[in-house]
Amino acid sequence: MSSEVLPSARRRPALFRLLPYVKPYWKQFTLILVLAPVGVLMAMAIPMLLGYVVDGPIADGDVLGVVGVALLILLAGTADSGVNFARRWMMSRITSIIEANIRFDLFDKLQALQMGFHKRWESGQLLSRIMSDLGLLRRFTSFGLLMLVMNTAQIIGVLTIMLVMYWQLGLTVLVLIIPVVIVTRILVGHSTRLSRKVQDATGDVASLSEESLHGVRVIRSFGRVRFAFDKFDEGAVRLRDLGVRRMNLSSVLWTLLEAFPNVLLVLVAGVASYAAAAGVLTLGQVVAFVTLLLSIAWPVGSLGFLLSFAGEAESAATRVSEVFDSEVTIVSGNKTIGDPQGRLELVDVEFQFDDADLPTLRGINLTIEPGETVALVGGTGSGKSTLVALIPRLLDVTGGQILLDGVDIRDLDLRQLRSLIGTAFEDPILFSMSARENLTLGRPDATDDEIAEAVRVARAEFVYDLPWGLDTRLGEQGLSLSGGQRQRLALARAILVGPKLLVLDDTLSALDIHTEAEVEEALKSTLVGVTGIVVAHRASTVLLADRVAMLVEGRIAHVGTHSELLASVPEYRELLSADYTIEPKLGEV
């Protein structure tokens, strides 16, 4: 999706909102700004020296004078080159550091934002912001911004000199520039709006590419390669067309600004020659006028590119600011639990998604004592996964409260809360790093013996048979492993945390019956002394629990032991049968 522009992003230019990242380097920027006028002055000094040498040493036949002025011109050119080198060297280094700092903070913000944010935003849009948009900002601040300032200063300086030397001609040039400035401003405004569309379209294409590449097996299995290509083609063609429109607009702008100096040159040369013939200007002043005009040919011609570049940078800054403007709703508390026991209480818990008409969960009351295991059962859409997501605060309750050892989890330090909870999801997420790094994600200091025990409980011994054992690098999302292997590795990762609360969200669904039985047998010893919450669909998994809580349409309808519910609740018996389903309501998960 193309993201909406937040109201706060319109208050002031988004580029100004990134100034706090510049502040730590104000000394370097001050030095760069001090050096910048030196280059402008040297560029304007050379035409003035040329005018002087024509009227002075050349007219008087003073060879030594000509040599002296030539050396001054050489010195001015060398100084200009040296200043430009120093400025570019410092600017490229500083802006690279600033880009990295913004990227760090942007990534940190994305990690802090609630799951609802990531549900609404496509990953390609976020990826384009954290990579291409920040790269564009760096290029503009390291080159475009200072060049825009310097070129504008040079144009103003040259016009001032012209007005002082021969005001009639200088005024004529100034009058001719005004309509060009107006047209340029209009074209740049259109270019900025097009740039935003191009950047959004780039994010859409990135999302389409990511989805298609990650889902290539599904696409091929269903014979939908042509469909995927057509969908990508549609996005790519839109991006191409927007890019062509932007380049066409830029071409008009560049052509206008490139042709304008030539028109001015003819006009200035003609008027200056007439003034020289009339004795108003000397030949040296004519040379100075023409050379000054030539010196601003590049600054004027580059304005189109630089202003278009500025528009793209402003769009990029706006897109980055949209992420920074997003509100973080799940914030850490400041309380800690000195001696965690793992007692969990759900008191009148309610949860409703922002885009749902009805609550997914309502009136949930349940107490789980330390060391007790409770199985959550219910039909599809009853809210089981949503409920377990509330415990580590992947989502926050919209009503009621969840207490851990008597403390509302919203008041707890978020890092401590999540360190006390080990979670294994139905859809296991593995990362493109070694098996060992995946296993120790929640506990980097785990010993080899602790890793081996977690692997044993999860029946994930297959990791030792990988080409390099635990040091084998897994493919992206662990797709080099089977579904069952990924689930067992994710289960071992959760166990290795040594949690007070172990949450298993249908973690054994991809295992065969034999392996599932082995894992469940090993889990029985692991769950001793650990508060456990198990989302279950099979009777064998339910048997791991001391009690069972049955969810129906977002409410806990029945609580009891497996045998009690089996004997007294017909719906429970039907739920555990192979052909039983419950239709989900709108807004339920």
Quick check: 254 pLDDT over 90? no
Percent of the chain's residues with pLDDT above 90 = 10
Q: What is the pLDDT of residue 204?
A: 80
pTM as predicted: 0.71
Question: Domain map of the chain by residue range?
Answer: 15-211+238-325
Q: What is the pLDDT of residue 11?
A: 54
Q: What is the pLDDT of residue 413?
A: 92
Q: How confident is the model at residue 421 (pLDDT cuts 50, 70, 90)?
A: confident
| Span 41-53, average pLDDT | 79
Q: Which residues contact 241 (CB under 8 A, 6 or more apart)?
A: none
The CATH superfamily label for domain 15-211+238-325 reads ABC transporter type 1, transmembrane domain (1.20.1560.10)
Q: How confident is the model at residue 276 (pLDDT cuts 50, 70, 90)?
A: confident
225 or 534: which leads in pLDDT = 534
Quick check: 492 pLDDT over 80? yes
Q: What is the pLDDT of residue 12?
A: 66
Q: What is the pLDDT of residue 585?
A: 37
561 or 517: which leads in pLDDT = 561
| Span 324-332, average pLDDT | 86
Q: Is the alpha carbon torsion for 404, 409, 415, 418 positive or negative?
A: positive
Percent of the chain's residues with pLDDT above 70 = 92
Q: CA-based diameter of the chain, in Å? A: 120
| Span 247-266, average pLDDT | 76
β-pairing verdict for 421-424 and 373-378: unpaired
Rounded Cα gap, residues 307 and 579, in angstroms: 65
Place of tokens 């509330």: 390
Highest mean pLDDT among 88-102, 194-208, 517-531: 88-102
β-pairing verdict for 361-368 and 344-351: antiparallel
Mean pLDDT of the chain: 81
Sheet of strand 547-552: strand arrangement: 421-424, 501-505, 531-535, 373-378, 547-552, 555-560
Q: What is the pLDDT of residue 33?
A: 80
Quick check: 403 pLDDT over 90? yes
Task: Show the CA angle centred on residue 261, arms to residues 256 and 264, nearest 5°.
Answer: 115
132 or 335: which leads in pLDDT = 335
Q: How confident is the model at residue 478 (pLDDT cuts 50, 70, 90)?
A: low
Rounded Cα gap, residues 265 and 300, in angstroms: 12
Map residue 88 onto helix, strand or coil: helix
Highest mean pLDDT among 110-119, 277-286, 310-319, 474-483: 310-319
Quick check: 441 pLDDT over 80? yes
Highest mean pLDDT among 70-79, 275-284, 310-319, 444-453: 444-453
Q: What is the pLDDT of residue 535?
A: 87
Q: What is the pLDDT of residue 301?
A: 67
Quick check: 364 pLDDT over 80? yes
Quick check: 409 pLDDT over 90? yes
Q: What is the pLDDT of residue 589?
A: 37
Quick check: 353 pLDDT over 80? yes
Helix (H) or strand (E) holding 307: helix 297-325
Say which range, 49-63, 136-150, 354-368, 457-471, has the weakest mean pLDDT.
Answer: 49-63
Q: What is the pLDDT of residue 175?
A: 79
Quick check: 7 pLDDT over 60? no
406 or 122: which leads in pLDDT = 406
Quick check: 528 pLDDT over 80? no
Task: Show the CA angle centred on residue 331, arms to residues 330 and 332, nearest 5°.
Answer: 130
Quick check: 426 pLDDT over 80? no
Q: What is the pLDDT of residue 346?
A: 93
Q: What is the pLDDT of residue 217?
A: 62
Compute how many other C-beta atoms are within 10 angstroms of the C-beta atom of residue 124: 20
